[in-house]
Amino acid sequence: LAEARSDHSATLLSDGRVLVVGGEKGPFEMHTSAEIWDPATGAFESTGSMAEGRKWHAATHLTDGRVLVVGGSGNPHGYGDNLLNSAENWDPASGEFESTGSMADSRIHHTATLLTDGRVLAVAGVVLSIAPLASAELWDPTTGKWTQTGSLKRARAQHTATLLEDVRVLVIGGAGMTKKAIKTFTKAEIWDPAIGAFSHAAHLGTSRSGHSATR
């Protein structure tokens, strides 16, 4: 990489290249920069800069080739009053970022899942005071706006959200705060686009957060 970074995102593009966005560059400073790795050369090249530096965001490859970067922390200390609700799109044609609509809730450690109709579902995460969220929001690429859609039965962060073949989204595990400590969950829920709501699914055998889930 041209710049050292941590807590960034790395998104596979349709042409086989990889877009690396944001992250923390060192103590108390976030990257606005992005880089592209090209498998043909094995090298990284700089591409565009975001309006806001961020880490712990979500990056989603859209059906039109753009990459939606949403949320994250711009706070130099990681937590506090500068968690972001803003979103930006990286355009492969120009190699530049442009701002799009902002979410109702600021969030980090959330998920952003591409749906079959091109919309993006952002689910849960953490907001101020390290409190987990139950809310979910939908981004529409035709309007660039977010709308709220249902709420989880259990607020959580560091979960997974996987698009199923029947176009529902399965949200698994994650963690949240209790009165005594951080607790990981066995509970799973399913979001149904037909009704814009979540319902309970079967429990995991073992509670977990920061895991992976693959269809």
Give the model confidence (pLDDT) of 99-149 as tens digits. Answer: 999 999 999 999 999 999 999 999 999 986 678 999 999 999 999 999 999
The one-character DSSP state at 202 is: P
Mean pLDDT across 154-183 = 91
pLDDT for residue 82: 81
Query: Is residue 180 predicted with pLDDT exceeding 80?
Result: no
**HEC sequence for 11-25:** EECCCCCEEEECCEE
Query: Is residue 75 predicted with pLDDT exceeding 70?
Result: no
pLDDT for residue 47: 97
pTM of the model: 0.93
Nearest in space to 182 (alpha carbons), one of 81, 103, 112, 109: 109
162 pLDDT band, cuts 50/70/90, is very high
